[in-house]
Amino acid sequence: MINSSLKQLGAMLAGKQISSVELTQEFLKRIAQLNPDINAYITLDQEKTLAQAAAADTRIAQGNAEPLTGIPIAQKDIFVARGWRTTCGSKMLENFIGPYDAGVIERFDAAGAVNLGKTNMDEFAMGSSNETSYFGSVKNPWDKTRVPGGSSGGSAAAVAARLCAAATGTDTGGSIRQPAALCGLSGLKPTYGLASRYGMIAFASSLDQAGPMAKSCEDMALMMNIMTGFDERDSTSLQREKEDYTRQLGKPLAGLKMGLPKEYFAEGLDAAVGKVVQEAIDEYRRLGAEIVEISLPNTRLSIPVYYVLAPAEASSNLSRYDGVRYGHRAAQYTDLMEMYCKTRAEGFGDEVKRRILIGTYVLSAGYYDAYYLKAQQIRRLIAQDFEQAFKQCDIILGPTAPSTAFKAGEKADDPVSMYLQDIYTIAVNLAGLPGMSIPAGFADGLPVGLQVIGNYFDEARMLNAGHAYQQVTDWHLRMPEGI
């Protein structure tokens, strides 16, 4: 049952083979057994979760069920949820209880899905290893001495360890795709603006996007049908016709042009990871896809551009955490300025402080034109690279991450080495394009992800490309030993 797809679980619930309460209890039992070691969840509320499951059973009995009604989903702790503790992995929000539901949470609630709990994450989504969380590191279920990736590492570990049927994540520079790759699951960052950012705690507003994390592309398509749609409360939300992301699943790949960026297969890519990715590309050839070489010449600039723009936006977004209205407040201070300083010194972790300092610096008088404005200009060039590439191909393939999951603590004292983990993912966010990672095999016993990048609003074709691959491989069905 824990290995069943969302479609299979929906059929079991509709056929009365199992109730939502029974299914939810099974996952809660597994969480009680495994989460103390893996640390995938920050907050659980069994009473609320089981009440939702009971309501779902009533809805199913009345014949009003939707495809995900009664299915237990884990929610990244970046989404505000009414009555749930919402921490964003930070001491700053350690005791914050959500007064309303985020747009994404509302949509899952309306569909009748069950909220299993809030998953662990890098503090304010800043990190690539899930080691910056105030609530402790998450362990990779494939090897508990290694990181699960970040910032959506808790959601990734929960799906990999079968502590939920699927989960939500957010992706600012690779934070869905990189942990999906390191934990052997599927993860999708949609086109910027497709999923509501209302109630999603902001890191970098022009980059953040919510997306699904699940075992397969078919599961992600079902989640996309729920997660996406216009939200007037979000100024970045796109007004588009609602679409069915399952509509292309099963379509042959004959004639599909897939581009390989030569920059993604150069120095820096682990040889074992490159071999697995090449084998996946060969499989696509057998499926009828045409493989062409392309170039994304400004890829090497994506990390420096990102680490100017994202911290700049973060320094602005995080200025609201000052101890005045909500969140942590220092216990002792003599005046308002000291309260600000002590509160932020105590409430934020080292990585968050580092990015606030960088962001404030690049926005300061005398440096704005040299750093921030120049980074925005290069961001445009990166987007133009993709525009040119999609004139030659329909979809772009490559590695999701340059290596498999690294040891916990291995890169903790080397921020630049940590930032380089997102070398293949960041450009997609800078351009606002959709990208996903799917399991492609193993290197030295650890999962390897294949990244699939599409043109704007081309998620249905991407999902079909991933689904076709998953019909002839079983990498997405593999489970860690002992789980």
Cα 372 to Cα 382: distance, rounded to the nearest angstrom = 15
Tokens representing 21 are: 């309460």
The rounded percent of the chain whose pLDDT value lies above 70 is 100
Pair of tokens at residue 180: 């999906």
pLDDT at 281 over 90: yes
Sheet-wide strand order for 166-171: 41-43, 114-119, 72-76, 166-171, 209-214, 186-189, 435-443, 446-454, 395-399, 257-261, 290-294
Confidence category of residue 420, pLDDT binned at 50, 70, 90: confident
Neighbours of 50 (CB within 10 A): 16
Residue of 353, 354, 356, 373 lying closest to 365 (CA atoms): 373
The pLDDT value recorded for residue 166 is 98
Q: How far apart are the first and last CA of the chain?
A: 14
Q: How far apart are CA 155 and CA 310, in angstroms?
A: 22
Q: Is 350 exposed, middle or buried (0-12, 13-18, 19+ CB in 10 A)?
A: exposed
What pLDDT score was predicted for residue 386?
Answer: 98
Model-level pTM? 0.96
Query: What is the pLDDT, as a whole number, of residue 172?
Result: 97
- Whole-angstrom CA distances from 374 to 224, 349, 363, 371, 433 are 35, 29, 12, 5, 21
Q: What is the pLDDT of residue 145?
A: 97
Q: Is the pLDDT of residue 438 over 90?
A: yes
The average pLDDT across 107-127 equals: 98
- Band (pLDDT 50/70/90 cuts) for residue 43 is very high
Q: Is residue 417 over pLDDT 90? A: no
Q: What is the pLDDT confidence band of residue 445, given thresholds at 50, 70 and 90?
A: very high
* C-alpha–C-alpha distance, residues 125 and 130, integer Å: 9
Half-sphere exposure of 481 (CA within 13 A, CB side): 4
- The pLDDT value given to residue 301: 96
Q: Write down the pLDDT at residue 365.
A: 86
Locus of tokens 């890519």: 269
Q: Give residue 469's pLDDT.
A: 98
* Mean pLDDT estimate for the chain: 96
The confidence band for 418, taking pLDDT boundaries of 50, 70 and 90, is confident
> How many Cα atoms within 13 Å fall on the side-chain side of residue 448?
23
| Confidence at 151, pLDDT banded by 50, 70, 90 | very high
Find the DSSP H helices in 62-152. Answer: 103-111
Among 345, 362, 365, 364, which Cα is nearest to 353's? Answer: 345
Q: Is residue 482 pLDDT above 90, yes or no?
A: no
Q: How far apart are CA 187 and CA 434, in angstroms?
A: 11
C-alpha closest to that of 78 among 70, 89, 69? 89
User: In the structure encoding, which two tokens stand for residue 458, read together?
Assistant: 């081309």
Query: Around Cβ 82, how many Cβ atoms within 10 Å?
Result: 16
Contact of 180 with 437, CB cutoff 8 Å? yes
**pLDDT tier for residue 363 given thresholds of 50, 70 and 90:** very high
Closest to 201 measured CA to CA, from 170, 228, 176: 170
Q: How far apart are CA 102 and CA 418, in angstroms?
A: 30
Instruction: Count CA atoms closer than 13 A to 266's CA, side-chain side.
Output: 11
Give the domains, in start order, of the chain with CATH numbers: 6-255 (3.90.1300.10)
CA gap 156, 163 in Å, rounded = 10
Burial call 15-34: b when 16+ CB within 10 Å, e when fewer: eeeebbbebbbebbebbeeb
pLDDT of 186-239, one tens digit each?
Answer: 999 999 999 999 999 999 999 999 999 999 999 999 999 999 999 999 999 999
* β-bridge pairing 166-171 and 114-119: unpaired
Please report which residue ranges of 193-289 form alpha helices under DSSP H.
217-227, 271-286
User: Of 33-47, 117-131, 401-415, where does mean pLDDT reach its minimum?
Assistant: 401-415
Query: Length of the chain in residues, anyone?
Result: 483
pLDDT-derived band at 415, boundaries 50, 70, 90 = confident
**Amino acid present at 428:** V
pLDDT score of 159 = 98
Write down the pLDDT at residue 483.
Answer: 85
pLDDT of residue 316: 95
Residue-wise pLDDT tens digits, 91-103: 999 999 999 999 9
pLDDT digits (tens, 9 = 90+) for 285-340: 999 999 999 999 999 999 999 999 999 999 999 999 999 998 999 999 999 999 99
pLDDT, position 311: 96
DSSP 301-364: GHHHHHHHHHHHHHHHHGGG-SSSSSS---S--SSHHHHHHHHHHHHS-HHHHHHHHHHHHHHS
The share of the chain scoring above pLDDT 90, in percent, equals 94
DSSP string, 156-183: HHHHHTTSSSEEEEEESSSTTHHHHHHH
Helix or strand holding residue 399 (H, E): strand 395-399
Closest CA to 395 of 229, 248, 179, 273: 248
Rounded (10°) angle between helices 302-317 and 350-363: 100
Is residue 294 a contact partner of residue 389, using CB atoms and an 8 Å limit? yes
SS3 percent helix, strand, coil of the chain, rounded to 5, is 45, 15, 40
pLDDT category at 1 given cuts 50, 70, 90 is confident
Confidence of residue 182 (pLDDT cuts 50, 70, 90): very high
Residues belonging to the active site = 76, 151, 175
The candidate with the shortest Cα–Cα distance to 392, out of 281, 294, 461, is 294
